[in-house]
Structure 1
Amino acid sequence: MKTIRGKLLVYFLVFVLLFQAAAVSIFISSNGLLSSYHDGFERFLVLNSISQYTEELYLDTQLIVVEFKPEILPDYYETKSMLETEKNKLTEIFTDVERIELKNYMNLIDTFIHESELTIGFVLRNDIEQYTNHLEETRIAAGYIQEATLEVIDSELTAYQSFYKDLQERNESFFYFILFLFGTTSILAIFFALWFSKGITNPLNKLSRAAKEVSKGNLIGDPIQIQSNDELKLLGDTFNHMRSDIHRLVEEIKDQSELDRLIKEMELKHLQNQINPHFLFNTLNTISKMAYLEDAKQTSGLIDSVATLLRHSLGDIEKQVALKDEVMVVRDYFHIQKTRFTERVKFQLEVDESCLDTKVPRLTLQPLIENAFIHGIEEIEEGGTITLSIYSSAPFVVIEVSDDGVGMSHEKIKEIMSLAKESEDHVGHSTGIGLKNVIRRLQLTYQMDDLVTIESELGKGTTVRIKVLK
């Protein structure tokens, strides 16, 4: 998938390369013109230097002939060396050295130098006739060199006029080229800006219109079609999925709301056919008082235990209570079951009093005791023992409910601890709250998954161990 950032980088690089190519071409052309101008100017300088050195060499030769002094010779030889150097430059700066005009010019310089050397040589021999003749030849050659220099310069100026005209034409071409480059780049920039912005604004406008429709509650509409292959297409597809998901969720909520309404109506009708629990609780208290007045103290105590258990179960299930309140309910439950089953069932309490102020979710202990009684002890003919132990193990308070009943298999323990919806929950007779319910409420309350452990062996009993924070 291409990205908007990638497209911007490509467009930017295209314009940069375009300007770089134009700049390089202008630089190369300008550099060529500057090189041509430099070569032409250097030729003028060399020709001018040859003319000057020729004049100086002739004067030095004449001075030696008129008044010979040995200290004059170094100046002569230095001037001669400079003239030869400038003459050698002609082969470097003139590309057409084979031209007759230039060849004659260079031969003339050689002749001039040769005649001046002969003049100096005969002066040293003191041969007046010879050095006089050669001095005249040197003067004539120097005159020819001056005339030839002017002719070569004139020829170069004629060529330079053509070069200057070409330079003007190129300068004018550069001006039009810059105007053309500015115009084309401006048009291209505007075109790409409009094309690129259209590729962004059109999908955004579609998304904006669709979002306004959604805000008005219209969740059904044609899917947004975005033809680009960048983030905007991903945004459009995501919006289509989101709109369809919202529509599906709204429909599900409507269906669930209707289902909840029907269920509440059924619950209301069901409650209308039941005895009010508070009425039952008050009635039990009245029966207990009457039994006490009739001197049926055992019956009165049993009714009080049932009333206490009922009152505790009617409390807010979401609120926590002190552990001592849970222990008190367990004692009443023990009382009820002892009354029913006499010596078949034994109950033991091993409680550390310092732990009883710890807060726990309501209806935590009694469902565990009832689960141990119903599924561990009740089916055994000879009965058994249920033990409730509470002790401190920092930073936790440990609650253990043990029985010596039928026990459970490892598979059954895993099924209970997995809290799977399809697994059977062992619910109690008194409160309807099972072991899975207690485990899940503890996990939600303390936000920990390892608070409950179950140890059991078939035929040897079960121990449920709970750890709660102090």
Structure 2
Amino acid sequence: MKVNKVTSERSIGGKIFNNFILIILVMSIGFIFSLYEKKITAKNYDDYTNINIKLSTLSLEFSNSWGYFDMFIKTKDDSNIQKYNDSNNKIKNLLIEIQPYIEKDENSSIYLRNLNNMYDIYKTESYHLMGKVINLERLDPRSYDKLTEIKTLFTYITKHSESLLVSYMHYSNNEYSTSVQKYNNTEREIYIALIFIILVSFVFTMMVSRDLNNTIGKLRSYAELLTEAKWGIPDLKDQKYEELNSLAKAFDKMKYSIREFIKELNEKAQIENSYNAEKLKNTQKDKLIKETQLSALQSQMDPHFLFNTLNTIGRVAMFEDADQTVKLIEATSKILRYNLDCKDKMVELKEEIRMVKAYVIIQETRFQDQMSFIFNIDETLDTVKVPPMLIQPIVENAIIHGLREKDKGGIIHITVVNDKNNFISISINDNGVGMDNKKIDIILSEVKNKSTGLGVFNVKKRLELYFNRSDLFKIKSERGEGTQVMISIPIDGGEDIDKTFNC
């Protein structure tokens, strides 16, 4: 008994689905068939109309052919021969085009065959006469008789052409009327079948709807009890239909599982909160590590630089007047102030250049004619944010390692431009001793070697930490040809980096 019940439960949904599919299928087939019949009817109408037009054109072209022929006989003008030939070609093409359609009607095909035969005779006789009279000033009696025969033949051609037009028009009208009647009958039958299926479907749907409403009403009352958190309600009994029976079981399952679900939800919320807290902690730790690394790297250059600077000021104070010493002290003060104020934050490019120029004042005093410095700075980039102490270590390295063997004529060229790719291009060039690729690799490596310039590696490492990129620092050099250090800074990246490090 239970097996039969399950079969009945499943058949209701299947019947509804099948009924729906049947309606869609009948409507689709009817629509497609109706559209097809309509398309065929329209095509037949176009074909009939087109052939009738061509038949009218054929009658007109026969008249044109005779006119050009008659005009040539009278005037002997060669231009009429060409017109006559063109007209005959048009007649020939028209006869070929209409033949497949005319042959569908027996009466019209008889007229067409007679018309073709008469037209062939007409062309042969007319061309023969034209060739004969082309050199005659007046027609001789035989030629005149032949012209009369051709004219008579043309009269028969004209009559047959008109008869063909009338015959095919009668045929096309009958055929089109039959096609339209067939289309209307088919469309009416489709509508009748569709209405019948809709009526049967409506009756079936009403019967099923009555049974469903009774069962759904019972389920609704249990659902209302569940919404009031009355979890002690009894389990629902087996329902009549499979779908509703599944719904009833779902209610029972929900009743038993909702408390467990709330409990699990709270546990997951606690786990997620713990995870987010740990994630925030790790983020802050990574940030502190980066800040510590940056501070450590920047602090490495201060003792070495201050030692050289103070040593220079001491020597100048011994051998020169106080004015020059004051100049050096002011330059040193600018450098120290810059180093203290900007040590842990991004700075504007103009501040970095101002500090480098102060450093250059000290070095020019120190080395005098041994070297000179040239600045080429794009002032439109003054407000762009860059890491501090970026250029000075490179200049210092160029002085110590690049120009150390030059007694005079040493040049350090500092250029800052916009490379049009949303990057600042900073270039420090010297005409010093240069170096080979092996030496460059040592400078760019993390091996600590004072003789290779700790400041250069410091700058490279800070660029990587600030911008998370390793392609912003490059060195080009050859022995005896000098050295070029190229630094690229993203124009739009400085302010974001500044916010990241809370400066």
| TM-score > 0.5 by shorter chain | no
Q: Give the TM-score category using the shorter length.
A: 0.3 to 0.5
Structure with the higher fraction of residues in helix conformation: 2
Greater RCO (Cα-Cα under 8 Å, separation 6 or more): 2
TM-score by length of 2: 0.41
